[in-house]
Structure 1
Amino acid sequence: MTGLPEMDVARVQRWCRTRVPEHVRDEIRVEVDVADRHLTIMECRPPWQDEEAGSEWSRFPIARIRFTKTTGLWELFWRDRHLRFHLYDLVPATATIEDLLSEVERDPTAIFWG
């Protein structure tokens, strides 16, 4: 159990599931890792070569959404090339997690999906 609002965690999980059409989910998936204070959206891909069959999928962080319990607000973070997260300041902190998911999907600066 985390300190995150369960409904918001479920919203992000549902958003991730709908991000990739079912017929290509053997090639790419979008998943969410749940931690105590944040959610990390991950792009997942199968092993590159046939001899790696059975190996685990690679997991690459795309964005992080952090919750502050005292304010009830979510903040969006982007990942740099060193896999460090930085506050994405083009959208304000919000109580509505869908606003942040919309920004990740819209990706006006190509910082999330490239």
Structure 2
Amino acid sequence: MTNKTIDINEFIIRKYVESLRSENIDIREQIDIGYSYDGKIVILNEIRPVWNDPKKKEQFGFAKIRYYKSRNKWSLFWMRASGKWEIYEPFPESSHLEKIIEIIKEDKYSCFFG
């Protein structure tokens, strides 16, 4: 029997990403959502086929969430057209990951889903 520790933050992230993904496999082949998480940085990605080689996939980050242990806070960033991450304003940091996800869902300024 292996002892697996459940990371509640990753559970929250995975649940949110799954809510964004289409149930239709054909649509997922054209556009899908994924994430990476290393314990302190989450990057939410849009996954699409490469335009000139549909067998290959590209990932485009659209939201970055970073945890600052020293402050016990999460911060939210969005990807500018320049390819650089910028802090999402006006938005204070939050000690609750769920609050950050709610801000992404709301997308009040169309920074994440256009």
TM-score range, shorter chain: 0.7 to 0.9
Say if 1:91 and 1:100, in contact at 8 Å, map to a contact too: no
Per-residue deviation, 1:73: 0.9
Aligned identity (percent) is 21
Determine if the alignment matches structure 1 residue 45 to structure 2 residue 36: no
1:74 paired residue number = 74
Per-residue deviation, 1:19: 0.4
Determine if the alignment matches structure 1 residue 7 to structure 2 residue 8: yes
2:98 paired residue number = 98
Per-residue deviation, 1:39: 0.7
Extract structure 1 runs of 4+ deviating beyond 3 A: none
Question: Residues of 1 paired with 2:10 and 2:55: CA distance?
Answer: 29
| DSSP 3-state at the match of 2:113 | coil
Determine if the alignment matches structure 1 residue 111 to structure 2 residue 114: no
Show CA shifts across 1:40-90 (max 9, x none). Answer: 1100012335xx2432x1111101000001121101011111211111122
Per-residue deviation, 1:96: 1.1
Relative to total residues, which structure has the larger strand share, 1 or 2?
2
Determine if the alignment matches structure 1 residue 54 to structure 2 residue 22: no
1:19 paired residue number = 20
Counterpart code for 1:45? R
Aligned residues: 107
Per-residue deviation, 1:36: 5.3
Counterpart code for 1:26? E
Change (3 A) 1:108 1:53: closer
Counterpart code for 1:42? N
| DSSP 3-state at the match of 1:46 | strand
Show CA shifts across 1:83-105 (max 9, x none). Answer: 11111122211111111111112
Query: Structure 2 unaligned runs (5+)?
Result: 1-5
